[in-house]
Structure 1
Amino acid sequence: MRPLSEEAELRLQHGGPPGGHDVLATDADGAVTGYARLELGDGTEDAEAELVVAPGARRRGTGRALLTRLEELAAGRPLRVWAHGDLPAATALATGRGYTRARVLLQMRRPLGDADLTEGPALPAGVSVAAFRPGRDEAAWLRLNARAFAAHPEQGAWTPEDLELREAEPWFDPAGFLLAWRGDRDAGGTLLGAHWTKVHPPGDAGPDAVGEVYVLGIDPDTQGLGLGRALTVRGLAHLRGRGLDEVLLYVEEDNSAAVALYGRTGFTPYAVDVSWRRTP
């Protein structure tokens, strides 16, 4: 498991919005033994954090000390803390402090060499798929993303700056960012769905390079046309064309429709992240 989310890593590199705090735990020699990131936002929602403890510093009170500091900085607000990996020690720490499970994020994986991915399901009539064009397709994709993930607490709130940060990352590849348009995309066409894939380098998500179904979003008005499965298979074919043997994705455990879609496409549960919540 990766110790931090992509969002936390990006904020370490580039900073974040007002209200963010980075918290370090160190040993007597000054070596970092733990890290936590807290987002307070605008004060209208729960404070949200994630924390990680170096393997060699576990069972020494480091996680407890970091959590205590996060609670102090939250200043009486409800606090959610992500634990990457549903580990017994994290569960014991959280439940012992009065936290309960608020969200569960499944990581699912499937091999890429066990099925024919050369031809995906047929696209709906009048729909074509084309690669993302940096500098031209951002606004259309952000509108689609906001509609597709209107109920999602993080994904649906992406800004142009969030997209720009990722376009500047070394892994960004517009050829693997597939957009499904109805009509002419340059003459009033409508973006109905998108499948943005990602490739993790060796050592990031496993010993070998691993693909990812990074963002798969379908306009709510287009549900029921089979576009989600058609874009999923086309994205998987792209990743296999890159020479990859495995692909992963993240999905909310309670999103039964998405979990079922991915299950029918050969994905099985691999790991779990848990968001723990406490109301003081």
Structure 2
Amino acid sequence: MTDDRPAEASPTPLRKIETLTALTPAQADAVLGLLAEAARTDGQQAVSEQGRLQLRGGARDGVRHLLLTVDGQLVGYAQLEDTDPVEAPAAELVVHPSRRGHGHGRALGTALLHESGRRLRVWAHGGHSAARHLAQVLGLALFRELRQMRRPLTDQGQGQGQDQIQDQTLDLSEPPLPEGISVRTFVPGQDDAAWLAVNAEAFAHHPEQGSLTQRDLDDRKAQPWFDPAGFFLAVRQSDGELVGFHWTKVHAEERLGEVYVLGVRPGAQGGGLGKALTTTGLRHLARAGLPTAMLYVDADNKAAVSVYERLGFVTYETDLMYRTET
């Protein structure tokens, strides 16, 4: 005997978006797992370092987390940060690679528009076509272009020892410093307040970097990659005042060095200090045996792009920011 009754329709998956001001440790772990899966597919992180640091440690002013689940399983995540007193809230979002193409990205984007009061900026890391399409669907316009630039640090000879590698730096002779300026490395605890003050001055035009707090600095100091030996401070010899810095970072798995943050205090600019600090950090990364250095710079910062190009950097990839029309 056969059963000729029509098959029952499959139940419609239940999609839910929950907005939270803080994540539990289990929720943070689940989001980090989702981000890792997406990064393996996309070749890069969908959420910035700052966003990943904000997954843990409890509630933070102006930060909201959007968890998209389907039948109770986490398949999408978005973070909304509303800390800039002028600019619209900024967001990043990701959908699990195996669950894309089902409207989850659009659902997260729509939720972000609602949460932000339709004043929204969204990062699309890598500028992929799917992200551009989603921005168009959500009615967002291209607003900002952030370039990742790279340059070689060594000639990457095969089968050579560390001493030989250190001697093969490409055009990284010791830089001359402006008169009356010396360079030393960062001392955690001792230099925190002075660095935060100079960082705020140097990046007053840059809402993300210029607004870093002691908590943000502590988050970074607690990371496995933090090494004060690669955090260079330019100080005035007459009074010890901090006038510039170059904080480098090592991505050990990728064997990649980064010009993490480079800043010069207003009033100390124009004398070659920025170039000297850049070269100091690059020499440090080269001595560590790293074959390549990277940095991020806004495409419309023509002066900085020109300086980096003269130092041998070329554009590697581009991140795009979209925003609602204002």
Q: What TM-score do the two structures reach when normalised by structure 2?
A: 0.78
Q: Which residue of 2 aligns with 1:201?
A: 252
Matched, 1:34 2:85: no
* CA deviation after TM superposition for structure 1 residue 137, in Å: 0.9
Q: What SS class does the counterpart of residue 54 from structure 2 fall into?
A: helix
* CA deviation after TM superposition for structure 1 residue 16, in Å: 4.6
Q: Which residue of 2 aligns with 1:266?
A: 312
* CA deviation after TM superposition for structure 1 residue 168, in Å: 1.3
Q: Which residue of 1 aligns with 2:95?
A: 53
Q: Which residue of 2 aligns with 1:100?
A: 141
In 2, Cα distance between the equivalents of 1:117 and 1:180? Answer: 22
Counterpart amino acid of residue 271 in structure 1: E
**Paired residue for 1:174, among 228, 232, 249?**
228
Q: Which residue of 2 aligns with 1:251?
A: 297
Q: What SS class does the counterpart of residue 214 from structure 1 fall into?
A: strand
Q: Which residue of 1 aligns with 2:7?
A: none
Q: Which residue of 1 aligns with 2:241?
A: 190
* CA deviation after TM superposition for structure 1 residue 77, in Å: 4.0
In 1, Cα distance between the equivalents of 2:59 and 2:83? Answer: 10
Q: What aligned pairs does 1:1-280 form with structure 2 within 5 A after superposition? A: 1-28=44-71, 30-41=72-83, 45-74=87-116, 76-114=117-155, 115-116=169-170, 119-183=173-237, 188-202=239-253, 208-279=254-325
In 2, Cα distance between the equivalents of 1:260 and 1:110? Answer: 14
* CA deviation after TM superposition for structure 1 residue 279, in Å: 4.2
* CA deviation after TM superposition for structure 1 residue 252, in Å: 1.0
* CA deviation after TM superposition for structure 1 residue 118, in Å: 5.5
* CA deviation after TM superposition for structure 1 residue 96, in Å: 2.3
Q: What TM-score do the two structures reach when normalised by structure 1?
A: 0.91
Counterpart amino acid of residue 173 in structure 2: E
In 1, Cα distance between the equivalents of 2:85 and 2:279? Answer: 41
Q: Are 1:108 and 1:267, in contact at CA under 8 Å, matched by a contact in 2? A: yes
Counterpart amino acid of residue 4 in structure 1: V
**Which segment is superposed worse, 40-49 or 174-183?**
40-49
* CA deviation after TM superposition for structure 1 residue 45, in Å: 3.9
Q: Are 2:110 and 2:138, in contact at CA under 8 Å, matched by a contact in 1? A: no
In 2, Cα distance between the equivalents of 1:217 and 1:103? Answer: 21
In 2, Cα distance between the equivalents of 1:193 and 1:139? Answer: 14
Number of aligned residue pairs: give it.
Answer: 270
In 2, Cα distance between the equivalents of 1:116 and 1:45? Answer: 40
Q: Are 1:142 and 1:160, in contact at CA under 8 Å, matched by a contact in 2? A: yes
Counterpart amino acid of residue 52 in structure 2: E
Counterpart amino acid of residue 280 in structure 2: R
* Structure 2 CA distance for partners of 1:69 and 1:77, relative to 1, 3 Å: closer
In 2, Cα distance between the equivalents of 1:86 and 1:15? Answer: 31
* CA deviation after TM superposition for structure 1 residue 26, in Å: 2.7
In 2, Cα distance between the equivalents of 1:259 and 1:12? Answer: 32
* CA deviation after TM superposition for structure 1 residue 109, in Å: 1.0
Q: Are 2:46 and 2:92, in contact at CA under 8 Å, matched by a contact in 1? A: no
**Percentage of identical aligned residues:** 51
* Structure 2 CA distance for partners of 1:161 and 1:80, relative to 1, 3 Å: same
Q: Are 1:47 and 1:77, in contact at CA under 8 Å, matched by a contact in 2? A: no
RMSD: 1.8
Higher relative contact order (CA 8 A, sep 6+): 1
Q: Are 1:197 and 1:235, in contact at CA under 8 Å, matched by a contact in 2? A: yes
Q: Are 1:19 and 1:41, in contact at CA under 8 Å, matched by a contact in 2? A: yes
* CA deviation after TM superposition for structure 1 residue 145, in Å: 0.7
Counterpart amino acid of residue 242 in structure 2: L
Q: What SS class does the counterpart of residue 151 from structure 2 fall into?
A: strand
Residues 32-65 of structure 1, C-alpha deviation per residue, up to 9 Å, x if partnerless?
2221001233776412211012222222211111
In 2, Cα distance between the equivalents of 1:17 and 1:159? Answer: 12
Q: What SS class does the counterpart of residue 154 from structure 1 fall into?
A: helix
* Structure 2 CA distance for partners of 1:264 and 1:166, relative to 1, 3 Å: same
In 2, Cα distance between the equivalents of 1:43 and 1:223? Answer: 27
